[in-house]
Chain A
Amino acid sequence: MVLLGGGCSTDFLEPEPLSFYAPENTFIDADGLNAALVACLSNAKNEYCGDGTPIVTEHVFSDVAVEGTTDKTGPAQDLPAQILPDAELNNCDWTRIGWYWTAGYNRIKYANTVISRIDNAEWKNEAERNNILGKAYFHRARVYYQLTQQFGDVPLILEEITEPRLDFYSCTRKSILQKCKKDLELAANWVVSEADGAPVGDVNKAAVYHLLAKVDLALLDFDGAVAAANAVIDDGYYTLMTERFGTDKSDPTHDVIWDLHQEKNKALPENRERIYLIVNSESLTENSASVKTQVMRQTVPFFGGSGKVKTPTGQPGTTDSPYGTKVGKGTVEYDLVTQYGRGIGRCRPTNYYQYDVWDDPDDLRHSYPNWMRMQDLVYNHPNLKVLGDPYYGKHLQKYDDRGNLLCTDTIRSWYNWPYYKLYMEDPTDLTPDGGYGDWYIYRLAETYLLRAEAYFWKGELTKAAADINAVRTRAGCAPYDAGDINIGTILDERARELYYEEPRKTEITRIAFILAETGKPCYNGKTYSLDNFSENNFWYDRVMEKNIFYGTNVVAPHHTYRAAEWIALWPIPAATINANSLGHINQNKGYPGAETNLTPYIWRDGEGEGEIIPQ
């Protein structure tokens, strides 16, 4: 009895994958390559979803917010001490600088897979091919646009990498942007518009133009930026929402600003302000198809902390337990946590964004119930009722009658916030963090503000004012005069309109580069130059001017808030530099490691994707 296995044949040892796809037999048609582009969309979604949401990092490195979690030493507050190439750069309790880097290059990989394989696939026609190619170009360009404003010169990768490579070099910001412009111009011709059937949640023609406007601005091609913005604003499909619509349409206590940001209204066909939307669904959650935004967890004040908010009688005033919960000997009757969400105060707005920027008392964006103040909340702690405390159910007070502060942590637990935008129903969570909801990435209001900026740089202040006013007046504000317009007022309007939507640090750095490259005098009386960008730049001056945490070195439990000039550009993660042992990736000036920098490479146009060569 001799038992024989199949040991003798070579076939016996051939690997046999059963439950996963291989690129060779999958990326061969529109379905396969579109699925690769869905990976780009999914990656982009994570900038706005999940815990330690990366968009918070874009905000705390700007004039509108700081890291407000005061209970640990990780969060980025003392920027020159904490933001270092070797430090933890991708952790929800530290910073998400590293997410932008790693996830950004992952998205580039997904896009490059499509770009490199575009002619290996079967196509019905050129339009089908170029729609896919154009969308891939959009995703890649969007990452490079953001990376170049965050990190400056970075490695440029334009093809799918299938073998180990460790020989990358930094490429100039400028030439990377030129490649993006070229790609976006092709994409703009081919990517399908929403009017022509592009699904909501996917990239469309308007999104391409919107991004092209940004890239043109960064390249000082202001005419190009105007033209790109025109292509969206004037195409007849898009319009700013000025009339009530959506689920609360007939509720007179609300307004169009409210309607625009309600989760259920963002994807509605009649919403023509939406350009590029992240789509999430409470019911379609398999396989992380939808991701919780956790927007309240990041942005709402931490009012639930025990004893953080006290009554004038010295009792804990608030609880984040939901309705009906037993707390001590009482039961929760005023359900703050379900109404506002459970915040941890991670994205803590500055006084600039809470108070100073609001120059018009009629601004709907800054009015109750769109805008929420702590004083609009009520003392809800059930123990107050048990004690017969007179403040139970009364509105919160920051000070008592003698002027004593009643909140022990005003960084984290006491501030105002744009409730209309930062509330998202989270039905499965007892202490809602922010559920599976849609989120705007590009919205027509920003296209107007981009065009306003292009006009501003061109010196056409009247047109600039008109574009800003289109956004302002919709929110109930009085219009600006042309004489009011400078880059500061444009940034102010962006802050009012685009909080927690725009990548704020990216946009300020882009403007800092424009000021440095053009040498135009800034409203603050300074002029800038590229030569000493890391020592003297508009990003730092703007942050120090408007963000009093950094500007006045506010002291938090673990850190003193500080910023520094060189942090206008984030550090290249040391792990990348170290792993790239056969090439050289430059470190940004101001950080350890910059002393070995080499002259960066440039991208030069040519056949196919062009070439990346030393200068």
Chain B
Amino acid sequence: MTSVLLWVWKSKLLFIMRLAFSICLFCLLQSFATGTFSQNQRLSINQKNISIEDVIQMIEDKTDYYFMYSALTVDVEQTVDIQANNKPIAEILDGLFKSTNITWKMNGRLIALSVNGGLPSVSRQPRNISGKVTDTSGASLPGVTVIVKETSKGTITSSDGSYILTNIPDDATLVFSFVGMKTQEMPIQGKAIINIVLTEETIGIEEVVAVGYGTVRKKDLTGAVSQINAEKLERESSSNMTALLRGALPGLNVNFSTSAKGLSSAGDMMVRGQKSLRVDASDEKGANAPLIVLDGMIYYGDMSDINPVDIETIDVLKDASSSAIYGARASNGVILITTKKGRKGKPTITVNSSIGLSTRSHTAIGLMSPKRFIDWRIAGYESNEKKQESKSGYYDSPDNLPTGVSVDSWKAYDGSSEASDLTSVWLNRIGFSTTEINNYKEGKTVDWEDYLFQTGVTQDYNVSLAGSSDALSYYWSLGYVDNEGMWYNEDFNTIRSRINLEANVTNWLKVGINTQFAVRDESSIPASLNMYLTPYASSYQDDGVTLMYAPTGNVSVSRHPWLALTYQDRFQKYNNMNSKIYATLTLPFGFTFTSEYIPRFNWNRSYNWYSAQQDDYTAENGRASRENTTVFEWQVNNILKWNRKFGEHSFDLTLVQNSEKYQYWYDGMSRNYFQPNDYLGYHAMQSATADLSITSNDQISTGAAYLARLNYVMKDRYMITGSFRRDGYSAFGQKNPWADFGSLALGWMISEENFFKIKWIDFLKIRASYGTNGNRGVGIYDALSNLATGKFVMIEDGSEKYVSKLYTSRMANSNLKWERTGAYNGGLDFSVLKGRIKGNFDTYFMKTTNLLMERQLPDITGFASVYSNMGQVNNKGFELSLNSTNIQTNDFIWTSGFSVAHNKNEIIHLFGDYTPDENGNMKEVDDETNEWFIGHSTDEIWDYKVLGIWQTDEKEEAAKYAREPGDFKLWDYDGDGYYTNKDKQFLGYRQPKYRVSFRNDFQYKNWDFSIKMYSYLGHKAANNHRKGDDSFYDRGTAYDVPYWTPEHPNNRWARVRSYESGFNVWEDNSFVRIDNIALTYSLPKAFLDGYKIAACNISLVTQNPYVWRPTWDWMDPESQGYAPTYYSLKLNFTL
């Protein structure tokens, strides 16, 4: 393989050339190492009149050494005689070249050849250059752009990969670029034939990583950054980018979504642990939400507005040093999303289409079957009404009476002696309505799951156009998603478009725009499950068309699951536009200056009409509401950069000035009593005659920042990054708007050192960082006192009228300020066994102080809490990520990715209030109301310990606690006969101790197969369904799960409608999920070439096919309810 790779090697080239070489060398060694390597290999070669090329071939075949040379300068076709018996390689080489002008140099396993005498003579004569471009497998590459650098001259390779350029100056450099391949530059240096092998762009040490307001080579990185690239994303099938991130990176936790839309909010993701004591992750304050940065703009929009096909890379900044540049909001980590740019070359059109199905996953638990339902009803009555009704067999069917009970005596129990309709007597006793009794007699049942769920169709179509010339690069995409969910009538659709343009106006001015536009439609109203839909109910009225308002006949609880979707008209649309407009000036002395203007617009409409045709709204003759929300937000960044190398020292300085303003306008109205009728719904609010509410709420917030960052790299192996940021935010604007943050990080590429002699380690870098970051996750006005307004009615002069009501609903805190996290991170990046295994290990310690939290107040103050800065929470943990190439042959490649992340936090301080403990020592006061305890973690469970179920023979003991057999037995720790807080125990953790992901990719010829699994381990969740109180036994039905009866006791599931108050039943929630399986077939290039198609592949993908949760007794362990499984067929092609 090596012999096809040509390179220029000159020992006396400039430092820069050596640098480039060593990088390439590194990659090469990473990429092609196979077999075992031994420094002291010996070899025997005895040949006469053999070409040097053949000798090289022999050495390569028999040893681990590789040769590198330029066939244009080094004449390997000359023949030599060679005689070597069990000689070291060095000796053989000396002998081989002694009669030639070739010198050799060994660097690790690579042997570089060059011609004596330094630089070849450079002719300035223009000449014709030709050659052939191939990929690493030797296949010719058509369509490669070949450009003479710094000119507009160029061509494109023909179908056999060959090219010809005429009249090219000798000192010119050719640039070879092709989609999906690394761009290569090649100086002509007198050659007439230049053959080039383009390597695919892969993730490796060479990868560039975004670090905020810039990029850095991964090898120069000093912080903890994880990256995934687009190629991986494309294998999977999801229209929501967050699904791709789930389980993809260690230390990034992404919530599970069950909706057709997928996740919306950054608050559904968390980097490393919970730093804030606030868990309001899903609200707009996002106390633990990572910062999302989309193409350099801080992104507050909806996650589902970002089209995954537009994404080039996603970088997650985890440690303080990496994220310090975003200091303001970065204490929860930063997710940087970079979208695609046009690549050099001809315009390409890429089409991604996916069509699939969504269904309930295998973990779904249905409602009880008719037979089980009746048993459950009887058990419910017997369990709950036995004190009132203890007559033997009272609730039993007359066909199934206990021994000793005659039908006559059974009938007489409730005065039904004269009754001849025994079925009705019986069913009346177990709460059947007339409707249900009639259906029972007629043998009619309804399977409500048919009404509640559907097999949804998911569709996702995208087309993009991309390309680039020297002057302009362009990327435009348009996508349409229509996802039906697992719930009946659940539907989400969105149209998304993106334009990324960048123009090099002159050699000193570059301008560009990145714009994303999305229209989301969330109008669909899914069927709604309620537990009062029994199997013997009726779904339609006698006409067979009109829905039953109350299917069981019980108007107070039973509701048809289709009522809302039939009688309510909802219009809920979100139009969002995000844009970045920028210009970059290239200045002398390595300076560049960029100015960015980033506007974001949201226009959201939520309109509802509740038709008077539905019984609930008949009396008020219909109800309708309109809500409009507009958001306009802008950010401005002015960025000055300086990038300069002085010998072994290279500097990269970034200075940024930032300011932002957020404006929000909301207006809503809700009216009823429409006249003459409500047929126009929310389109004619003026035809309503009464107001339910008219509301407006406008908000403004502002922020500003100044920051500086310096990267310094010495000798390519010592790196240092320092940053400073000063941040201002209007929510703290009364006294403490500004805060300062900083960071320092060090990196050492120890494997580059001469003394580093561990041969099986190819690469080793040590990183260490410390930094501080801020969190401003409070409401815009949380520091201000707020007068809540309301209305009230009084009668003056005989007429009712509104009077105004005002009360203070929020205590002011003018001292409110930034929450601050100081974080240490230590990390290792390594590659061992010739690149077979690569990985990263990071360990961290984070100390969050001045926690922004709602400090609990005694409720007698009239305030439940006040926003304050107090306390301290520490987080520590580690992340390990390993990528291995398990098998690599010409036809078959098997790679694995494994990661594990662990985080644990601890509350160190809360309010700083101390009281003496039992021993008289001062002890900081816990917050029992919020279940925060000093020395414990924020997610620790503090509750009564469930010991099991009270059994029949424990009746008397249970009665002391006002419980009965079949109820949960809780531990009365202090034995005082009451369940009080003193009996509560620490029972485990809500957050997983370990999050593990495991991904395998197999490639066999044109087939790719990947399987992604992840697992959360060592945490608990409440499974209160075991209390048997999901519904009332006399009106409802139940999930198809076990329950306790005296005849069939157990120690896990309580009796029907057991004592449920005041405690939770905790279960181990550990699980392993197969998250994604994809099988892809790529059509052969040879076949596609005939149709001028660059690439085409077809995939079968399934998401969430299986989850294994041995200790969890309920449905999906993450959603803790129904969860979807998706199957899709994808077709992608590029023209």
Stretch at the interface among A80-88, A173-181, A517-525: A80-88
A42 interfacial by beta-carbon distance below 8 Å: yes
B861 contacts across to A, CB distance below 8 A: 105, 109, 157, 161, 164-165
B692 contacts across to A, CB distance below 8 A: 285-286
Kindly provide the distance from the CB of A196 to the nearest chain B CB, expressed in whole angstroms: 13
B145 interfacial by beta-carbon distance below 8 Å: no
CB contacts under 8 Å to B, within A28-66, are 31-32, 34-36, 38-39, 41-42
Q: Which of B657, B781, B868 contacts A7 (CB 8 A)?
A: B657
Asked whether, in the complex, the Cβ of A409 is within 8 Å of the Cβ of B388, the reply is yes
Q: Which of A6, A427, A556 contacts B619 (CB 8 A)?
A: A427
Asked whether, in the complex, the Cβ of B793 is within 8 Å of the Cβ of A555, the reply is no
B389 contacts across to A, CB distance below 8 A: 408
Q: Which of B432, B616, B737, B798 contacts A430 (CB 8 A)?
A: B616
Stretch at the interface among B60-68, B304-312, B409-417: B409-417
Asked whether, in the complex, the Cβ of B859 is within 8 Å of the Cβ of A102, the reply is yes
Query: If the complex has contacts A22-B784, A23-B787, are A35 and B556 also in contact, measured as CB distance less than 8 A?
Result: no
Asked whether, in the complex, the Cβ of B980 is within 8 Å of the Cβ of A289, the reply is no
Query: If the complex has contacts A73-B1059, A556-B387, are A286 and B737 also in contact, measured as CB distance less than 8 A?
Result: no
Q: Give A535-559 as 1s and 0s: 1 = Cβ < 8 Å from B's Cβ atoms.
A: 0000000000000000000011111
CB contacts under 8 Å to B, within A263-318, are 267, 269, 279-281, 283-290, 304-307, 310, 312-316
Asked whether, in the complex, the Cβ of A305 is within 8 Å of the Cβ of B1034, the reply is yes
Asked whether, in the complex, the Cβ of A304 is within 8 Å of the Cβ of B556, the reply is yes
A556 contacts across to B, CB distance below 8 A: 387
Asked whether, in the complex, the Cβ of A202 is within 8 Å of the Cβ of B419, the reply is no
Chain A contact residues (Cβ within 8 angstroms of B): what range?
Answer: 35 or more
- Complex CA gap A163/B807 in Å reads 16
Asked whether, in the complex, the Cβ of B785 is within 8 Å of the Cβ of A23, the reply is yes
Asked whether, in the complex, the Cβ of A39 is within 8 Å of the Cβ of B415, the reply is no
Q: What is the number of contacts between chain A and chain B, taking CB atoms within 8 Å?
A: 378
Asked whether, in the complex, the Cβ of A287 is within 8 Å of the Cβ of B415, the reply is no
B754 interfacial by beta-carbon distance below 8 Å: no
Asked whether, in the complex, the Cβ of B929 is within 8 Å of the Cβ of A579, the reply is yes
- Complex CA gap A330/B414 in Å reads 24
A14 contacts across to B, CB distance below 8 A: 730, 733
Asked whether, in the complex, the Cβ of A328 is within 8 Å of the Cβ of B433, the reply is yes
Kindly provide the distance from the CB of B507 to the nearest chain A CB, expressed in whole angstroms: 17
A82 contacts across to B, CB distance below 8 A: 962
Chain B residue with minimal CB distance to A91? B1061
Asked whether, in the complex, the Cβ of B806 is within 8 Å of the Cβ of A5, the reply is no
Asked whether, in the complex, the Cβ of A289 is within 8 Å of the Cβ of B791, the reply is yes
- Complex CA gap A462/B555 in Å reads 54
B244 interfacial by beta-carbon distance below 8 Å: no
Asked whether, in the complex, the Cβ of A74 is within 8 Å of the Cβ of B807, the reply is no
Q: Which of A19, A201, A286, A557 contacts B694 (CB 8 A)?
A: A286
Query: If the complex has contacts A5-B704, A281-B800, are A86 and B980 also in contact, measured as CB distance less than 8 A?
Result: yes
- Complex CA gap A475/B315 in Å reads 81
Kindly provide the distance from the CB of A283 to the nearest chain B CB, expressed in whole angstroms: 6
- Complex CA gap A412/B96 in Å reads 106
A41 contacts across to B, CB distance below 8 A: 792
Asked whether, in the complex, the Cβ of B925 is within 8 Å of the Cβ of A581, the reply is yes
Asked whether, in the complex, the Cβ of B660 is within 8 Å of the Cβ of A105, the reply is no
- Complex CA gap A179/B785 in Å reads 29
Asked whether, in the complex, the Cβ of B384 is within 8 Å of the Cβ of A18, the reply is no
B980 contacts across to A, CB distance below 8 A: 84-86, 574, 592-593
CB contacts under 8 Å to B, within A532-591, are 555-560, 573-576, 578-582, 585
B936 interfacial by beta-carbon distance below 8 Å: no
- Complex CA gap A316/B550 in Å reads 17
Asked whether, in the complex, the Cβ of B802 is within 8 Å of the Cβ of A5, the reply is no
Query: If the complex has contacts A20-B789, A310-B414, A579-B858, are A7 and B913 also in contact, measured as CB distance less than 8 A?
Result: no
Kindly provide the distance from the CB of A92 to the nearest chain B CB, expressed in whole angstroms: 13
Asked whether, in the complex, the Cβ of A430 is within 8 Å of the Cβ of B428, the reply is no
CB contacts under 8 Å to A, within B684-736, are 690-694, 696-706, 728-734
Asked whether, in the complex, the Cβ of B434 is within 8 Å of the Cβ of A6, the reply is no
- Complex CA gap A200/B657 in Å reads 61
Asked whether, in the complex, the Cβ of A35 is within 8 Å of the Cβ of B803, the reply is yes
B104 interfacial by beta-carbon distance below 8 Å: no
A256 interfacial by beta-carbon distance below 8 Å: no
- Complex CA gap A348/B992 in Å reads 48
Kindly provide the distance from the CB of B862 to the nearest chain A CB, expressed in whole angstroms: 3
- Complex CA gap A8/B728 in Å reads 10
A327 interfacial by beta-carbon distance below 8 Å: yes
Query: If the complex has contacts A78-B962, A427-B619, are A314 and B433 also in contact, measured as CB distance less than 8 A?
Result: no
- Complex CA gap A560/B1034 in Å reads 20
- Complex CA gap A315/B728 in Å reads 73
A360 interfacial by beta-carbon distance below 8 Å: no
- Complex CA gap A106/B737 in Å reads 32
B429 interfacial by beta-carbon distance below 8 Å: yes
- Complex CA gap A458/B51 in Å reads 132
Asked whether, in the complex, the Cβ of B412 is within 8 Å of the Cβ of A166, the reply is no
Asked whether, in the complex, the Cβ of B794 is within 8 Å of the Cβ of A17, the reply is no
A234 interfacial by beta-carbon distance below 8 Å: no
Asked whether, in the complex, the Cβ of A314 is within 8 Å of the Cβ of B434, the reply is no
A597 interfacial by beta-carbon distance below 8 Å: no
CB contacts under 8 Å to B, within A310-350, are 310, 312-316, 319-322, 325-330, 342
Asked whether, in the complex, the Cβ of A18 is within 8 Å of the Cβ of B700, the reply is yes
A443 interfacial by beta-carbon distance below 8 Å: no
B635 contacts across to A, CB distance below 8 A: 5
Asked whether, in the complex, the Cβ of B787 is within 8 Å of the Cβ of A20, the reply is yes
Kindly provide the distance from the CB of A475 to the nearest chain B CB, expressed in whole angstroms: 27
Q: Give B1056-1073 as 1s and 0s: 1 = Cβ < 8 Å from A's Cβ atoms.
A: 011111100000000000
Asked whether, in the complex, the Cβ of A287 is within 8 Å of the Cβ of B693, the reply is yes
Query: If the complex has contacts A110-B807, A592-B982, are A3 and B781 also in contact, measured as CB distance less than 8 A?
Result: no
Query: If the complex has contacts A13-B702, A105-B862, are A312 and B415 also in contact, measured as CB distance less than 8 A?
Result: yes
B780 interfacial by beta-carbon distance below 8 Å: yes
A71 interfacial by beta-carbon distance below 8 Å: yes
Kindly provide the distance from the CB of B810 to the nearest chain A CB, expressed in whole angstroms: 9
Q: Give B540-553 as 1s and 0s: 1 = Cβ < 8 Å from A's Cβ atoms.
A: 01100000001001
- Complex CA gap A342/B550 in Å reads 16
Kindly provide the distance from the CB of B85 to the nearest chain A CB, expressed in whole angstroms: 74
Asked whether, in the complex, the Cβ of B981 is within 8 Å of the Cβ of A94, the reply is no
Asked whether, in the complex, the Cβ of A2 is within 8 Å of the Cβ of B554, the reply is no
A101 interfacial by beta-carbon distance below 8 Å: yes
Asked whether, in the complex, the Cβ of A200 is within 8 Å of the Cβ of B982, the reply is no
Asked whether, in the complex, the Cβ of A408 is within 8 Å of the Cβ of B388, the reply is yes
Asked whether, in the complex, the Cβ of A279 is within 8 Å of the Cβ of B795, the reply is yes
B704 contacts across to A, CB distance below 8 A: 5-8, 12-13
Query: If the complex has contacts A78-B962, A404-B414, are A73 and B805 also in contact, measured as CB distance less than 8 A?
Result: no
Kindly provide the distance from the CB of B394 to the nearest chain A CB, expressed in whole angstroms: 10
B302 interfacial by beta-carbon distance below 8 Å: no
Asked whether, in the complex, the Cβ of A155 is within 8 Å of the Cβ of B860, the reply is yes
Residues of B bordering A, CB below 8 Å? 384-385, 387-389, 411-419, 424-425, 428-429, 431-435, 437-438, 541-542, 550, 553-556, 583, 595-597, 615-616, 618-620, 634-636, 638, 657-661, 690-694, 696-706, 728-734, 737-738, 780-781, 783-796, 798, 800-808, 811-812, 855-863, 866, 868, 911, 913, 915, 925, 927-929, 961-962, 976, 978-982, 1029, 1032, 1034-1035, 1057-1062
Q: Supply 6 A–B pairs (Cβ within 8 Å), ascending by A.
A: A12-B659, A16-B700, A22-B787, A84-B978, A85-B980, A580-B860
Lowest 6 CB-CB distances: which A-B pairs, in order?
A5-B659, A109-B862, A314-B416, A328-B434, A7-B659, A7-B704
Residues of A bordering B, CB below 8 Å? 1-8, 10, 12-23, 26-27, 31-32, 34-36, 38-39, 41-42, 71-74, 78, 81-82, 84-88, 94, 101-102, 105-106, 108-110, 113, 154-155, 157, 161-166, 168, 199-202, 267, 269, 279-281, 283-290, 304-307, 310, 312-316, 319-322, 325-330, 342, 381-383, 399-400, 402, 404-406, 408-409, 427-431, 555-560, 573-576, 578-582, 585, 592-593
Supply 7 further A-B pairs (C-beta < 8 A) apart from A1-B595, A74-B1061, A281-B800. Answer: A20-B789, A35-B804, A73-B1060, A105-B861, A199-B796, A201-B792, A306-B1034
